[in-house]
Amino acid sequence: MNRNDRLAEFNDGLLNYGHTKTKLGNGNKRIGKEFREKGTLFFEELHTREQDYQKFSTMGKALSMKVRTQYPPFFKKISKADMIVFIDEDCYEVMDVNSDKEKIFLYWYLSKAGDGHAVSKATPQKSE
C-alpha cells in the first residue's frame, strides 16, 4: 500500500487534540477551561469491538468512539495524560491511544465528555 492509498482512508473528519488550561478571572478565581490545541489530524471512524467496550467498562468508563489516524512523528513528545479531542464541536476525553507495530497508525479510544468537562474552544491556541 503506497502513501497516497493510506491518506485516502482518513475521510471521516478532522480531530483537534490537545489539553485544557484553567482560565482564571479576577482574584485568581477559576472561571472555566480553555482548549490548548496540540495538533490536528484527519481520521477514519472504526467499528468498535465488544472487547473494547468490555475493557473500558471494567474501568468504569463508557466508550463512545474509536478512530484511526496517521501517526505523526512528533506525537511521542506529547503528554497523553488528560488529553482531549474535539470532533466538530463535540468534546471527547481520550481514554487510550495506541499505535500499531510499525508506528504508521494511531488508534484513539474516545469517551464523550459530559457537562462537567465544559471546555471553551472559541479560540484554540497552539502551544510549543
CATH code of the domain covering residue 40 = 2.40.10.270
Assess if residue 121 is contained within a domain. no
SS (H, E, C) 26-88: HHHCEEEEEEEEEEEEEEEEECCCHHHHHHHHCCCCCCCEEEEEECCHHHHHCCCCCCEEEEC
pLDDT of residue 6: 53
Among 52, 60, 70, 42, CA closest to 109? 52
Total tally of structural domains belonging to the chain: 1
Residue 123 resides in a domain: no
Query: Domain for residue 128, yes or no?
Result: no
The residue ranking higher by pLDDT, 37 or 23, is 37
- Region of 98 (left: φ > 0; alpha: ψ -120 to 50; beta: rest) is beta
Residue 121 reports pLDDT greater than 70: no
In a domain, 62, yes or no: yes
Write the pLDDT tens digit of every residue in 57-68: 888 888 999 999
Residue 31 has pLDDT above 60, yes or no: yes
> Which candidate, 87, 83, 2, places its Cα nearest to that of 40?
87
- Give the range of the structural domain holding residue 85, as residue numbers without chain letter: 3-116
pLDDT at residue number 24: 85
